[in-house]
Amino acid sequence: MMDGPILDAKLNQHFAGRVVRKDLTNMIKQGANVPTYVLEYLLGMYCATDDDEAIHEGVERVKKILADNFVRPDEAEKVKSHIKELGQYTVIDKLTVKLNEKRDLYEAEFSNLGLKGVAVHSDYVKRFDKLLAGGIWVILKMEYFYDEENRHNNPFRIESLKPIQMPNMDLNEIMEGRKNFTKDEWMDVLIRSTGLEPTQFEPEAKWHILLRLVPLVENNYNLCELGPRGTGKSHVYKEISPNSILVSGGQTTVANLFYNMASRSIGLVGLWDCVAFDEVAGIKFKDKDGIQIMKDYMASGSFARGKEEKNANASMVFVGNINESLDFLLKTSHLFAPFPEEMANDSAFFDRMHYYLPGWEIPKMRPELITNNYGFIVDYLAEYLREMRKHNFADVIDLHFKLGNNLNQRDVIAVRKTVSGLMKLLYPHGEFTRDDVAEILQYALIGRRRVKEQLKKIGGMEFYDVHFSYIDRESLQEEFVSVPEQGGGKLIPEGLGKPGHVYVVGKGDSGMIGVFKLENQAVSGTGKFERTGLGSRKEVKEAIDTAYRYFTANCKSVSAGISTKTKDYLMHASDLQGIGMSSELALAEFIGLCSSALERPVQESLVILGNITVSGTIEKISDFAHVLQVCVDAGAKRVLIPAVSVADLQTVPPELLIKVQPIFYSDPIDAVFKALGAV
């Protein structure tokens, strides 16, 4: 990590006039409500130096220019009067130009001044073609001349015009300049350009801040960032780039977002590089087919409206707040839960997300996190990002690595897009090493795996392939990536447990499939049965009582040495994932009681599946493949399965089946013997 002043000097040396001290932006912006890119352009002109006196003079000059020339909408008439009375006047405004075919001339429209139909010389249009594509901010010298003979002519004229936004972009300048910085220096430069101080962030958080820029540099990139409030999630899309739009409040229409059939005009996705939705919980379409069209667009970059199909390049960003703690969400629901109800359980919608950025790993914004050092003028940065959208770095993976077998086509596309975006940001000059690619590839895989882990919770077996990896083409070594919040610790520990301790997988109170632990202990007594941890559900208590009644009636069939008269049995149930206690506990509890009575533990890493009725009838397991997936994820090595479910084995993917040893039982007594390893 480089010291601030040294990096500042390097920036001023290699990007003279393209950088600005970010504390000046903050200082002036508080007193003048002007777009950041207008402000920083002026600061870049007059304050791109490290001489304090020159900076002071420059700031005063910028303030005077803004006070005298920036057109406020409420003062438009006053400025028009100045132009008329003085004959000439300089203004700062946003200009949009259209060709008027009937009059064979270009006409400008002023955003704040409110003028329309002002003639523009074709030379300006040729030089600054962005005037025709959404408009740019300019400094212009205006004249007023009223011609009695040609009254239909607009009396306002443009004498000279100079763009404030970058009129064009020289990528070679960036490429050449980048060669003078290391990877870490360049990363710090980019983060400082967004207004943040990189030295105050952990390495992981720096990567996350960088990833926020990927939707601006990569076409059709779908990003989701959920996390606590105040971490600056929407700042990039609102302030940093004039090419992105933030849809606040969430409510929108298909016409506004995609295509208006009435006016035959394309919506936001065709006009902007990036469309960001603030507060995802409030996303609401007035049209019923809104979410379906959005899914179509997120998958293919196109959508059908009326009789034709339209293409667009805009990236989609979804930012929102997580209200519960991370642990609570992981145990009881999934990380996409903050989305509105019609999306929250739609696995097809979330499968189109290329990356899930963990907002909880970025600290909340504090004054010390805002930089006072130099960074690129935001408009220069925005144009660099925009220009890089034309390039593609997705194939850099193939130079050194191959993606693992568990990635399907959507996973591959997602990982390639993330890698491409980060490569464009960090290595636009195309000079990088194998390790550089591996670092970015690993980061890309984690974000996509985070999406898949949640999909597995929502959609079950369809998304069981979550073990993402990449293979080194030279050494053929396979590297697997894990998601930090999933944790390395398994719910079911390795090695033999205590007698009476058993694990069971079943459907919890919430409808989700989870892991439960039953702890049984046999102590001297008079045949009492005490149970704790069951909660208030009647069905759960009945299941445990069924198990004890079956135990008292059939224990002699297991062993003559088991006594129900001279022993008390204590039992405690734990809901290991917080999804609500299951009522599918009777068989597991029967085995647990036998295990504690015989003082013999069940086989190591064993999960018991199946349930029994009062008469001892074995119930078939519903959603078998999904249940088995939960067993594997929990760390099970052996699974006790009722014989009635053998036919369901064909629903289980072979890759999953080889990870556990299935043990089949025909009746409850057989289940006890096999659980204890007696047969």
- Side by side, which strands form the sheet with 478-480? 401-403, 469-472, 478-480
Cα–Cα distance list, 175 to 77, 390, 519 (Å): 45, 15, 64
Could you tell me if 645 and 621 are in contact, meaning their C-beta atoms sit under 8 angstroms apart?
yes
Q: How far apart are CA 58 and CA 80, in angstroms?
A: 28
Mean pLDDT along residues 463-483: 84
| Nearest CA among 579, 413, 445, 605 for reference residue 512 | 579
Indicate the pLDDT class of residue 184, thresholds 50, 70 and 90: very high
In the prediction, which pLDDT does 443 show? 95
Could you tell me if 647 and 674 are in contact, meaning their C-beta atoms sit under 8 angstroms apart?
no
3-state SS, 348-395, equals HHHCCCCEEEEHHHCCCCCHHHECCCEEECHHHHHHHHHHHCCCCCHH
Radius of gyration of the chain (CA): 33
Mean pLDDT, all residues of the chain: 85
Q: Return the higher-pLDDT residue of 578 and 59.
A: 59
Q: What is the sign of the dihedral through the CA atoms of 437, 443, 447 and 450?
A: positive
Q: How far apart are CA 582 and CA 533, in angstroms?
A: 11
Mean pLDDT along residues 434-460: 89
Torsion angle, alpha carbons of 548, 549, 550, 555, to 10: 70
Could you tell me if 584 and 611 are in contact, meaning their C-beta atoms sit under 8 angstroms apart?
yes
In the prediction, which pLDDT does 651 show? 83
End-to-end CA distance of the chain: 63
What would the pLDDT profile of 312-361 be if each residue is shown by its tens digit?
Answer: 899 999 998 887 777 767 666 678 888 887 777 788 889 999 999 998 99
- Percent pLDDT > 90 in the chain is 32
0.85 cut: is pTM over it? no
- Side by side, which strands form the sheet with 606-608? 529-532, 567-575, 513-524, 501-507, 606-608, 638-642, 661-665
Q: List the single range of 94-98, 251-255, 657-661 with lowest mean pLDDT.
A: 251-255
What would the pLDDT profile of 188-240 be if each residue is shown by its tens digit?
Answer: 999 999 889 999 999 999 999 999 999 999 999 999 999 888 888 888 887 77
In the prediction, which pLDDT does 129 show? 66
Cα–Cα distance list, 214 to 111, 234, 410 (Å): 30, 14, 18
What would the pLDDT profile of 520-549 be if each residue is shown by its tens digit?
Answer: 999 998 889 999 988 888 999 999 999 999
What would the pLDDT profile of 3-55 be if each residue is shown by its tens digit?
Answer: 567 888 888 888 877 888 888 887 777 666 677 777 877 887 777 666 778 88
The Cβ of residue 620 has, within 10 Å, a number of other Cβ atoms equal to: 13
Q: Please, which residues have CB within 8 angstroms of residue 194's CB and are 6 or more apart in sequence?
A: 209, 212, 213, 235, 236, 240, 375, 381
Helices (H), 194-316: 203-211, 214-217, 235, 254-257, 268-271, 290-300
Cα–Cα distance list, 152 to 83, 103, 156, 158, 616 (Å): 19, 12, 12, 17, 97
Q: Return the higher-pLDDT residue of 8 and 518.
A: 518
Mean pLDDT along residues 463-469: 76
What would the pLDDT profile of 241-276 be if each residue is shown by its tens digit?
Answer: 778 888 876 667 787 788 877 767 777 888 788 988
Q: Return the higher-pLDDT residue of 38 and 470.
A: 470
Indicate the pLDDT class of residue 2, thresholds 50, 70 and 90: low
| Nearest CA among 45, 58, 49, 40 for reference residue 11 | 49
Ranked by mean pLDDT, which of 139-153, 284-298, 338-352, 531-545 comes out on top?
531-545
In the prediction, which pLDDT does 638 show? 94
Mean pLDDT along residues 420-441: 94
Cα–Cα distance list, 579 to 64, 331, 462, 513 (Å): 63, 7, 21, 8
- Percent pLDDT > 70 in the chain is 93
* pLDDT over threshold 60, residue 397: yes
3-state SS, 37-53, equals HHHHHHHHHHCCCCCHH
Tokens 């998601």, residue located: 483
User: Reduced to 3 states, what is the DSSP secondary structure of residue 577?
Assistant: coil
In the prediction, which pLDDT does 488 show? 42
User: Reduced to 3 states, what is the DSSP secondary structure of residue 94?
Assistant: strand
Indicate the pLDDT class of residue 453, thresholds 50, 70 and 90: confident
Helices (H), 70-112: 76-86
Single-letter residue type at 396:
V
3-state SS, 598-643, equals HCCCCCCCEEECCEECCCCCEECCCCHHHHHHHHHHHCCCEEEEEH
Mean pLDDT along residues 78-84: 87
Mean pLDDT along residues 603-611: 93
